Amino acid sequence: MTETADTEVDAKGLRCPMPLLKAKRALNGMQSGEVLRVLSTDAGSARDFAVFSEQSGHALLASEQDGDVYTLLLRKS
């Protein structure tokens, strides 16, 4: 992942729907075009954030897994 994040949410150890709720809260405080990095250990995160990006209009720039940690990058619409 080469994209630099403007804001990061560490949601490791939290279960669905908390990583997504924390991300939504962070996005609400961000400017259009800024990038949010979310770190999560919830196995459903990749799917949840893909659906969220389609429904919300925020761009899912990357979704990667390293061990049990998922790193997701979203650009605010």
Residue 31 in any domain: the answer is yes
Q: Which of 6, 8, 14, 16 is catalytic?
A: 16
**Total tally of structural domains belonging to the chain:** 1
Q: Which long-range contacts (CB under 8 A, 24 or more apart) does 49-55 make?
A: 49/20, 49/23, 49/74, 52/20, 52/23, 52/24
Does residue 2 lie in a domain region? no
29 located within any domain = yes
15 domain residue, yes or no: yes
Reported confidence tier of residue 1, pLDDT bands at 50, 70, 90:
low
Assigned domain for 30 exists: yes
Does the annotation count 16 as an active-site position?
yes
Q: Is residue 1 in a domain?
A: no
12-63 pLDDT per residue, tens: 999 999 999 999 999 999 999 999 999 999 999 999 999 999 999 999 999 9
* In-domain check, residue 51: yes
Spatial strand order of the sheet with 35-40 comes to 7-11, 35-40, 69-75, 59-66
pTM, 2 dp:
0.94
Q: What CATH number is associated with residue 35?
A: 3.30.110.40
Alpha-carbon span 65 to 57, nearest angstrom: 23
Q: What is the pLDDT of residue 74?
A: 98
Instruction: Give me the domain span that covers residue 21.
Output: 7-75
